[in-house]
Amino acid sequence: METNEQSQELSGSAAPATPEEENARLKERIAFLEKKLQLVGSVTRHDVLNQLTAIVGYNELLSMTLEDEKTKTFLDREKQATDKIRRLFQFAKDYQNLAIAPPRWQNLTNATNRAREACSGVVIRIQEPAGAMIILADPLFDRALQYIFENTRQHAGKPTEIRIAVTIVGPHAELIIEDDGTGIPAKDKERILERGFGKGVGWGLFLAREILGVTGLSIIENGEPEKGARFVITLPAGTFQANGNESSVL
């Protein structure tokens, strides 16, 4: 009588993979695909941005030789388009890097300062919360704050300040970011955090929401139209510590 092994050899079929083996194969496949995406994304961005730098440089030289105002207007529009392409590639890079590294505890004041420094051209005053608050978030947390600040700079008219406050509400906390700009129209409040919505690139607030969501943080906008935008980031229990003083917190 043939054994099971002999039967499998005669039929030419292999033994089915165990659940452990199948999981190992899937993990290897996922790691391979992630590596491909990272490589293609980084190489593409690097090469395209290099070409954009060349285009911008030649446009600057060309603008210095032109006297026709109409032609200069076309060059200005071209510059705006290349700037938008640069921002799109930055957003794509941030989205690709989202959740790559594990969440970590971050000092709110330090993250706020990094976000403010990254907002070139921002001439608004930020009132930071008193005391030390640390938040468990994706390493791109300061970038999420930066996108919120830049939304004020680009779309809030002529704001004079951004105010930041933290309120403890039972087991959770609320990080409130508000400005004194023109506010968000009521008809836009439900869509302002969606990808592609808005007059600019349409990725900033969407990415802010995605970055915050990695550790369960949520964001809404509930300011009064014509009286300024008001973003409320909810910090669930376990994602924040008031008066944290760990030396390893960034």
Same domain, 233 and 196: yes
Within a domain: 7 = no
Q: 140 Cβ partners below 8 Å, 6+ apart? A: 94, 97, 98, 211
| 39-77 pLDDT, tens digit each | 666 767 777 777 888 888 888 888 888 888 888 888 888
Over the stretch 66-111, which tens digit does the pLDDT of each residue have?
888 888 888 888 888 888 777 777 777 777 777 788 999 999 988 9
Same domain, 89 and 111: no
Residue 92: give the domain boundaries. Answer: 19-97
Return phi, psi of residue 46, to 5°: -60, -50
The residue ranking higher by pLDDT, 199 or 1, is 199
Q: Which residues pair with 235 in a beta bridge?
A: 173
CATH number of the domain within which 195 lies: 3.30.565.10
- Domain termination site, one of 78, 97, 116: 97
pTM, two decimal places: 0.69
pLDDT in tens, 117-127: 877 655 566 66
Are 92 and 201 in a shared domain?
Answer: no
Give residue 69's pLDDT.
85
Between the alpha carbon of residue 80 and those of residues 63, 65, 74, 123, the distances in Å are 14, 20, 10, 21
The mean pLDDT value of the chain amounts to 80
Final residue in a domain of this structure, among 43, 74, 97: 97
Whose structure tokens read 């680009």? Answer: 154
pLDDT tier for residue 200 given thresholds of 50, 70 and 90:
low
